[in-house]
Amino acid sequence: MMLRDSQDAYGHLVLDYLQKGRGQEIVEREDGLLDTSGALPGYYFAEFRSWAAHERKAMRFVKGRVLDIGCGAGRVALYLQKRGFDVIGIDVSPLVVKVCKLRGLKKVTVLSISNIGAKLGKFDTLLMFGNNFGLFGSFGRARLLLRRLYELTSDDARIIAESIDPYKTRDPLHLAYHKLNRSRGRMSGQIRIRVRYRTYMTPWFDYLLVSKREMHRIIAGTGWCIQCFIDSTGSQYIAIIRKRE
């Protein structure tokens, strides 16, 4: 799905930040909660030395041909491109793709995770930074897409995926939302949100936040396995996911 201009809230944010150095993303949850996103807009443009330590450590696992899923303003793809990797960025936001091109990313296109196909070729590394394991959306959709990605990657491919453990909170609003989700047969961290910026807003979509134990459950039987986790100082973590031998 390509976002219409009125829906491209994140794209307008990163374009404004690139051109004017200002802007703030707002995330609206279905229960009415409004909050700023975890990262300041400047972090989407940060150089490697300013990244969080767990993100820098994860770069050691990148190899071969790379697909950056949900590439945003291109900070990771541009870093890898400078290091000589063959990297392609994809995002559902046309303005994000424009920003990446303006910043010098050579290969970037408008595409959703659901539409990744054989036309792109095979990849050795799939990147899902910025908590983009969440793009899988739900337990069932994650397993379906993981099986599809298995077929579109090399024999020793890896996925480098970041998530947030939703249980590492004491906020009563989040805990109540977890309970609501479970009562509806959803995972606790399966949040339904939309992104807002100025007068722009995305459609509602599901975004999946999981604990390490839940990630193990999702991946079991898909052909993938978790090699290791890289922890942060907070609730975020990165999983290195490999094809099962």
Interacting residues of 95 by C-beta distance below 8 A, sequence separation 6+ = 5, 8, 11, 12, 14, 15
For position 36, what pLDDT does the model report?
Answer: 87
State how beta strands 123-128 and 108-110 pair.
unpaired
For position 1, what pLDDT does the model report?
Answer: 65
Two tokens, residue 135: 């793009």
For position 38, what pLDDT does the model report?
Answer: 64
* Of the candidates 119, 60, 57, 59, the residue with the CA atom closest to the CA atom of residue 88: 119
* Of the candidates 196, 191, 193, the residue with the CA atom closest to the CA atom of residue 7: 196
Query: Coil, strand, or helix at residue 139?
Result: helix
5-242 CATH fold:
Rossmann fold (3.40.50)
pLDDT (tens, 9 = 90+) of the chain, 245 residues, equals: 679 999 999 999 999 999 999 889 999 999 999 998 766 788 999 999 999 999 999 999 999 999 999 999 999 999 999 999 999 999 999 999 999 999 999 999 999 999 999 999 999 999 999 999 999 999 999 999 999 999 999 999 999 999 999 999 999 999 999 999 999 999 999 999 999 999 999 999 999 999 999 999 999 999 999 999 999 999 999 999 999 87
Q: Which residues pair with 68 in a beta bridge?
A: 89, 127
Query: Coil, strand, or helix at residue 245?
Result: coil
Report the amino acid identity of residue 11.
G
Report the amino acid identity of residue 208.
L
